[in-house]
């Protein structure tokens, strides 16, 4: 049964078309995946469905009734809920408070906290989510926070649930938990709109797929009627090949050396050496250790103890300037919060890390554009209008701006945290080639990733961390992906 129907929707931004004549129907009890390259128009469509954007033409119908002048409030009332990429929980409140926010049961204007807790726990239990409603939201893992948001939306009566890349940046186990929840929701009759760049995930999970390219539907049908190759062609318009290159022998010189690094429960006497020209990955079930490595190596945070040397020279802990001066570049996995400056254009963001460009020269726009051009072209940053503020770019293109910003500075060593987060298959292959080239130029690359596939594609060696400790080390050419996942989960090899 069709719950939500989109007919002939078109949307432009300042004269540039983001969506053209898009029609799609979402059925109750079905997982419907939206796929497409970065900038294809998926988020624009989702924002139209959730009432955040008004289409220039076309209509939306719920249960056959037209929904004119949709606003976020009306969409929610009609049962259309969105769980966006960025978690929207109040981290200092409990899970129960977050779930019940805006709908707190009261008696004579006094909140009945016991009822709050009980109702929230019921909402979680009904969906088979094993989380204590009394826990503080900020203490949950990212996957658990996503589940809490799902429970909240379903409790509020969501019949069409839009999940925007809910498994991005999650390790294999957490991603599997989210998929399990999606299946349970589907079985209760919710219509699920699922956005993901992971093709195998979509092929396993989705009942139906709609592919967008340049704002138009290029393929739509049951998931069983297509395959990986077909999807890539429909999304990209050509085949995409991404293979491990044969890299030249690595230099014996050590690029980055980490010794006995300790930081709270995240890192416990952690050691690693990355030689110049080598790619070493740190992989673990939860991304905690990986993002803590980013904080420590970039100098944002001082470790409890331990040393880091780059090119044989010690780096003073807790000092961003020292980290940069050592030739180390750390590319964050959290581009929205730590990576890019909203309000500044693509060119300004790309050039921010170039030390030769001081503040005064930043305002010579012609020069800025000329110097930024090779980087934005090299990293294939695509936008509808020339040089917009960076927040107007699609997610994957923002990621490319972030990589261009740091990798354009000729580093001697890099830490890359989830470098292809939110990036489409074609851009992923391009970014992987760029990382290969970096290593080929003798840069020491430390890869902090949550994706076993990515690690298998890029790394020479893989170090598995669990509970902050280095557990096992593997050569990428001597292990299979499944063995690696078992190793991250602590299973026997």
Ligand X SMILES: Nc1ncnc2c1ncn2[C@@H]1O[C@H](COP(=O)(O)OP(=O)(O)OP(=O)(O)O)[C@@H](O)[C@H]1O
Q: Calculate the CA 401 to chain-centre distance.
A: 15
Q: Which two tokens stand for residue 381?
A: 């940053």
Query: How many C-beta neighbours within 10 Å does residue 485 have?
Result: 18
395 lies in the site for ligand X, by CB under 6 A: yes
User: Distance between CA 130 and CA 237 in Å, rounded?
Assistant: 42
Of the ranges 117-125, 181-189, 385-393, 400-408, which one interacts with ligand X (CB under 6 A)? 385-393
Where does residue 482 fall: left (phi above 0), alpha (psi -120 to 50 degrees), or beta otherwise? alpha
How far is it, in rounded angstroms, from Cα 170 to Cα 177?
10
Give yes or no for residue 394 binding ligand X (CB under 6 A).
yes
The nearest distance, CB 388 to ligand X, in angstroms, is 6
User: Shortest Cβ distance from residue 271 to ligand X (Å)?
Assistant: 37
Is residue 416 helix, strand or coil?
Answer: strand
**Is residue 36 near ligand X by the rule CB under 6 A?**
yes
From candidates 121, 196, 354, 383, binder to ligand X by CB under 6 A: 383
Q: Considering the complex, state which of residue 34 and residue 464 has its C-beta at the smaller distance from ligand X.
A: 34
Given the complex with ligand X, which of 306 and 388 has the nearer CB atom?
Answer: 388
Nearer to ligand X, 6 or 328 (CB): 6
When asked if residue 13 is in the footprint of ligand X (CB under 6 A), the reply is yes
Give the separation between CA 474 and CA 492, rounded to whole angstroms: 14
CB of residue 120 vs ligand X: minimum separation in angstroms? Answer: 31
Q: What is the number of residues in the chain?
A: 493
Contact with ligand X (CB under 6 A) among 20, 27, 43, 98: 43
The CA distance from 110 to 106, in Å, is 5
By beta-carbon proximity to ligand X, the closer residue of 27 and 44 is 44
Task: Tell me if 272 sits within 8 A of 312, measured CB to CB.
Answer: no
Considering CB under 6 A, how many residues would be counted as binding ligand X? 20
Backbone angles phi, psi at 434, to 5 degrees: -65, -40
Distance between CA 452 and CA 323 in Å, rounded? 28
Stretch that binds ligand X, among 37-45, 325-333, 338-346, 454-462 (CB under 6 A): 37-45
* Alpha-carbon separation of residue 448 from 103, 318, 400, 452, 455 (angstroms): 40, 19, 17, 11, 9
* Host H or E run for residue 212: strand 208-213
Q: How far apart are the first and last CA of the chain?
A: 46
Q: Which stretch binds ligand X (CB under 6 A): 72-80, 272-280, 329-337, 381-389?
A: 381-389
Residue 333 in contact with ligand X, rule: CB under 6 A? no
51: left (phi over 0), alpha (psi -120 to 50) or beta: left
Q: Does 338 bind ligand X (CB under 6 A)?
A: no
Taking the C-alpha atoms of residue 398 and residue 365, their distance in angstroms, rounded to an integer, is: 21
Footprint (CB under 6 A) of ligand X, residues 219-238: none
Least Å from the CB of residue 402 to ligand X: 13
Tell the smallest beta-carbon distance from residue 151 to ligand X (Å): 25
Which range, of 38-46, 239-247, 266-274, 457-465, touches ligand X by CB under 6 A? 38-46
Give whichever of 13 and 113 is closer to ligand X, judged by the CB atom.
Answer: 13
- Footprint of ligand X on 406-445 (CB under 6 A): 424
- Is the CB of 295 or the CB of 348 nearer to ligand X? 348
Q: Is 384 in the site for ligand X (CB under 6 A)?
A: yes
Q: Going by C-beta distance under 8 Å and a sequence separation of 6 or more, which residues neighbour residue 8?
A: 21, 22, 23, 57, 58, 59
Q: Where does residue 102 rank: exposed (0-12), middle (13-18), buried (19+ CB within 10 A)?
A: exposed
> Which range binds ligand X by CB under 6 A, 173-181, 359-367, 387-395, 450-458?
387-395
Q: Among 141, 392, 409, 433, which residue sits at the site for ligand X (rule: CB under 6 A)?
A: 392
Question: Which of 27, 38, 94, 421 is in the footprint of ligand X by CB under 6 A?
Answer: 38
Among 223, 236, 261, 393, binds ligand X (CB under 6 A): 393
Bridge partners of 59, per DSSP, are 7
Least distance in Å: CB of 212 to ligand X?
Answer: 6
Binding site for ligand X (CB under 6 A): 13, 18, 36, 38-44, 383-384, 388, 392-397, 424
């Amino acid at each position: 049964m069709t719950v939500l129907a989109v007919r002939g929707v078109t949307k432009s931004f300042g004269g540039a078309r983001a969506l053209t004549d898009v029609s799609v129907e979402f059925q109750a009890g079905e997982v419907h995946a939206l796929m497409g390259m970065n900038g294809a128009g998926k988020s624009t469509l989702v924002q139209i469905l959730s009432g955040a954007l008004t289409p220039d033409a076309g209509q939306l119908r719920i249960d056959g009734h037209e929904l004119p002048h949709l606003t976020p409030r009306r969409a929610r009332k009609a049962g259309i809920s969105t769980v966006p990429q960025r978690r929207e929980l109040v981290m200092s409140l409990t899970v129960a408070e977050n779930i019940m926010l805006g709908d707190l049961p009261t008696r004579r204007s006094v909140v009945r906290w016991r009822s709050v807790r009980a109702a929230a726990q019921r909402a979680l239990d009904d969906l088979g989510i094993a989380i204590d409603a009394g826990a503080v939201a900020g203490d949950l893992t990212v996957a658990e926070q996503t589940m809490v948001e799902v429970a909240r939306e379903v409790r509020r009566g969501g019949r069409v649930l839009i999940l925007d890349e809910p498994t991005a940046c999650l390790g294999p186990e957490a991603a599997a938990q989210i998929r399990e929840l999606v299946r349970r929701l589907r079985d209760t009759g919710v219509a699920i709109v699922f956005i993901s760049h992971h093709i195998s995930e979509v092929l396993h999970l989705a009942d139906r797929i709609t592919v967008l390219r340049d704002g138009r539907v290029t393929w739509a049908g049951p998931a069983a009627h297509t395959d990986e190759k077909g999807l890539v062609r429909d999304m990209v318009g050509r085949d995409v090949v991404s293979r491990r290159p044969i890299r030249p022998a690595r230099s014996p010189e050590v690029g980055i050396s980490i010794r006995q690094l300790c930081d709270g429960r995240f890192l416990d006497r952690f050691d690693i050496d990355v030689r110049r020209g080598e790619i070493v990955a740190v992989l673990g079930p939860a991304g905690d250790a990986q993002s803590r490595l980013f904080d420590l190596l970039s100098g944002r945070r001082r470790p409890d103890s331990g040393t880091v040397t780059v090119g044989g020279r010690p780096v003073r802990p807790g000092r961003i300037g020292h980290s940069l001066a050592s030739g180390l570049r750390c590319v964050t996995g959290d581009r929205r919060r730590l990576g890019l400056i909203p309000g500044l254009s693509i060119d300004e963001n790309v050039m921010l890390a170039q030390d030769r460009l001081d503040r005064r020269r930043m305002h010579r726009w012609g020069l800025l554009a000329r110097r930024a051009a090779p980087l934005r072209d090299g990293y294939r940053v695509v936008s509808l209008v020339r040089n917009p503020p960076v927040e107007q770019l699609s997610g994957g293109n923002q990621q490319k701006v972030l990589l261009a910003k740091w990798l354009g500075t000729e580093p001697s060593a890099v830490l890359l945290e989830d470098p292809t987060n939110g990036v489409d298959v074609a851009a992923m292959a391009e970014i992987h080639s760029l990382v290969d080239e970096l290593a080929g130029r003798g840069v020491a690359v430390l890869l902090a990733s949550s994706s076993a596939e990515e690690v298998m594609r890029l790394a020479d060696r893989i170090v598995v961390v669990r509970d902050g400790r280095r557990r096992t080390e593997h050569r990428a050419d001597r292990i299979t992906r499944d063995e690696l996942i078992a190793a991250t989960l602590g299973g026997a090899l």
